[in-house]
Amino acid sequence: MSNTSENPNPSSSSAKITLKTSDNELFEVEEAVAMKFCTVKQYFEDEKDNDVAARGSSTVIPLPNVHSAVLARLISYCKKLPQSNAVADNHEEEETKKKERKQYGTPGDLVDLISAANYLDFKEGLEFFNQALADHIQNKSVEYVRKFFGIKGDFEPHEEEKYREEYAWAFEGVDED
């Protein structure tokens, strides 16, 4: 178990784990991939402790909070393993990373991916998709962000106006929604 987190190379571990999504789809994934999801790992280890004879081979791990479409995306992310943690050395690299983050679907899909990564306690993926969503909203208006996340503004109009005046330049160059 010690090297599964460092070595995601599937050939080193041929064991498979079956995950069952909220819409009752079954996914057979490499153990190394499944172990990236700490919630799955925890469940798997608990199962093993409870039932030594089963040895995991026939275990189906239910994921009632994850839809099959979302899980498929998460697994494909795990397999691609983008170098999301390295610092971009230059502007082009940063742009490449942004493009890479853009591939994982619409902003709505990203919200689903973030929810799922959070539920699965998948830190690396959570960080990646959080960044992807931040990329999406960074040039958006205050109104867009409120609507997108279902947030109700609670500033008095004059308070908000004061903030807008204080850093008026931060409200320039905002995307049209």
Q: How far is residue 36 from each of residues 73, 121, 140, measured CA to CA in Å?
A: 14, 8, 33
Size of the site for another protein (CB under 8 A): 56
If 0-12 CB within 10 Å is exposed, 13-18 middle and 19+ buried, where does residue 74 land?
buried
Q: Which stretch binds another protein (CB under 8 A): 3-11, 28-36, 45-53, 126-134?
A: 126-134
Judged by CB under 8 A, the residue of 24, 57, 108, 176 near another protein is 108
- Least distance between another protein and beta carbon 32 (Å): 21
Residue 124 as a binder of another protein (CB under 8 A): the answer is: no
Decide: helix, strand or coil at residue 92: helix
Question: How far is residue 18's CA from residue 34's CA, in Å, rounded to a whole number?
Answer: 9
Decide: helix, strand or coil at residue 28: strand
Bridge partners for 54 per DSSP? none
Q: In the complex with another protein, which residue's Cβ is closer, 24 or 64? A: 64
**Chain residues in the site for another protein (CB under 8 A):** 22, 38-39, 64-67, 70, 85, 87-91, 94-95, 97, 108, 111-112, 114-116, 118-119, 121, 123, 126, 130-131, 133-134, 137-139, 141-142, 145-146, 148-155, 160, 163-164, 167, 169-171, 173-174
